Each structure stands twice: as structure tokens, then as C-alpha cells.
Amino acid sequence: MIGRDLLGIEDLDRADLERILETAERMQEVGTREVKKVPTLRGRTIVNLFFEPSTRTRTSFEIAGKRLSADVVNFSPTSSSLTKDESILDTARTLDAMAPDAVVVRHKVAGVPKRIADALAAPVINAGDGAHEHPTQALLDLLTVYQEKGRIDGLSVTIVGDVLHSRVARSNIYGFLKLGAEVRVAAPPTLIPPAIETLGVKAFTSLREALDGADVVMALRIQRERLDGAYVPSIREYSATFGLDRTKLRFAKDDAIVMHPGPVNRGVELSHDLADHRPSVILDQVRNGVALRMAVLYLFAGRPVAAAQEG
């Protein structure tokens, strides 16, 4: 994986996914030490290039880089100045001149990390592009499920909510299917992409049917301004039909876990109670995000310098 870009889970195979998850499990140990730092990426520079706001993802890439002793630079230009192809390439060239060892990119437009990757020598890690992919979110979700359930093969995973606009859903669909889970999506018909079943998932407009026998229930964030009126009659109605609470969760397996990529709209996609307590594992997802991103930086941007030093 060294020197490769991480643009989407679609590009990875099962062996890649397993390797990343195993490495992340080893990285978790560093987070339990009193001094949470290893010299793995000393002398290397990681640029966080976030054109779109982010809390968890940007922070955890920064912590992950620092725990590996890399120098981490945060660069957050406004998205509007960089929607044109030419200005994106200018930014990429400017960055290239600073010789980073990895560039982590988030942009509201799908495909921008790929355009930057094509123009840069350094590996590019996609931290979320439009409604396309958010690979490190899916990887940390896979890690969380693996550690909760002891396996992914054969599990039944139900993704609930705005699948149409969700890069988290897309990346998770690829990831869970590649590792042998069954994936269902549940949403009002307007929020289910027309050809979703060609990816190998089953689509439901009945939450009850979608949850039947689920081991994992993943709620997606609702973007109120985009949904109200245009895709669903009202947020209140959406919440009554697809918002998860303990009563609706009874349709899933007794030991089902609940996930959410954050930020949670409390009382909309998850009840207040479920947002804060088991069986939701939201804070485990956030915690695992750091170790997972350490693994990604190590595997995609790590070894050439170490190898050169050894040689």
C-alpha cells in the first residue's frame, strides 16, 4: 500500500481491508500508553487539506499523525475559491512544492481528492468527498463492529437514513460486503439511490422489515436544510418513521449495536437515550478513528523513509 492513494473502499480488496484493520488494532495500544507517541513517522510531513468543515475526521487525523511523530499541518481554504478545476490543481502544485509525505483531503465535490492525487507525488487520503466516499469512516466502523462482534462475515448490517447523499453509506456498503456481511438500507423512497441494489444491498422503505434480524444498525446524519420539504414531508415525520429509539430497535437482534458517524441530530435520527447509551457505540467509533487513521498513515505514507534509513 506504500505510496498508494486511499480514495475509496471500492478500490481495496479483502486482504487490504484486513491488513488495515489488523494494523489499527496494533495502533490502539499506543493510545493506552502514558506517553502516546511512537517515532514511526518522525521527520515526515502530513498536510490536512480540508475544504469542508470537519470535527472528528480532521482532529483524529491530526492526533493520529502526531502520535506517529509526524509534523502535521492544517490547511483549510474556503471551498468556494476552489471549485474550479484549475484552482484545485494550482493548490495541488503549491502543496507539491512543499514536499509533503501525505495529503489528507476533504471536499464537498466528489472526485476532488482524485484530481489532487493525479497531480501530486505524495499519497492522497480521501477524508470525504461529496456524496462519493469516506473511506476512513468506513474502516473505523468496520474495526468497531469487528471488535464488538468478533467477526464481520455473516453479520447483517442495516443502514438507516439519507443514503442518497451519504458518502458514509457508500463506503460502508463496499466495506461490509467485501468482508462478507449482508447489507440492507432503509429510508423513504426519495432518499434511496435508484440503482442501489446493483451494489449488492437490499433496499427497504419499511424500517421494521429492514431491521429484522440485524446485528448492526447504522443511522446516518440528516441534513435538515436539505431534507425538509424537498425529500421528506417534514423532519418530524421522518423522525417518527425512521428515527431510532429503543422501541423500534426491538425489531433488530437482542444484541444489536447502534452506530452513527456523527454529528448526531439528537431526537431526529437517534433518540437522546440511544445517542448516549449502549447499545450505541458512537464514542467507540470516535476512539477507534484515531488508531485507524494511524494505521492508514503508516500503511499508505509510512515505510519508504524507514526502509531508506534501514538500507
Positions touching ligand ASP (CB under 6 A) are 128, 134, 167-168, 221, 261-262
Residue with nearest beta carbon to ligand ASP: 221
Q: State in angstroms the smallest separation of the CB of 25 from ligand ASP.
A: 23
Q: State in angstroms the smallest separation of the CB of 180 from ligand ASP.
A: 25
Q: State in angstroms the smallest separation of the CB of 170 from ligand ASP.
A: 10
Asked if 249 contacts 207 with a C-beta cutoff of 8 angstroms, the reply is no
**Which strand (E) or helix (H) includes residue 267?**
none
Nearer to ligand ASP, 167 or 178 (CB): 167
Asked if 208 contacts 246 with a C-beta cutoff of 8 angstroms, the reply is no
Nearer to ligand ASP, 44 or 107 (CB): 107
Closest CA relative to residue 58, chosen from 6, 121, 128: 128
Q: State in angstroms the smallest separation of the CB of 167 from ligand ASP.
A: 5
What value, to the nearest 5°, has the Cα angle with vertex 221 and ends 162 and 24? 110
Nearer to ligand ASP, 167 or 184 (CB): 167
Nearer to ligand ASP, 31 or 262 (CB): 262
Contacts with 158 (C-beta within 8 Å, 6 or more apart), sequence order:
183, 184, 185, 186, 210, 211, 214, 216, 217, 218, 252
Q: State in angstroms the smallest separation of the CB of 268 from ligand ASP.
A: 12
Nearer to ligand ASP, 9 or 30 (CB): 9
**Torsion sign, CA atoms 147, 153, 155, 161:** positive
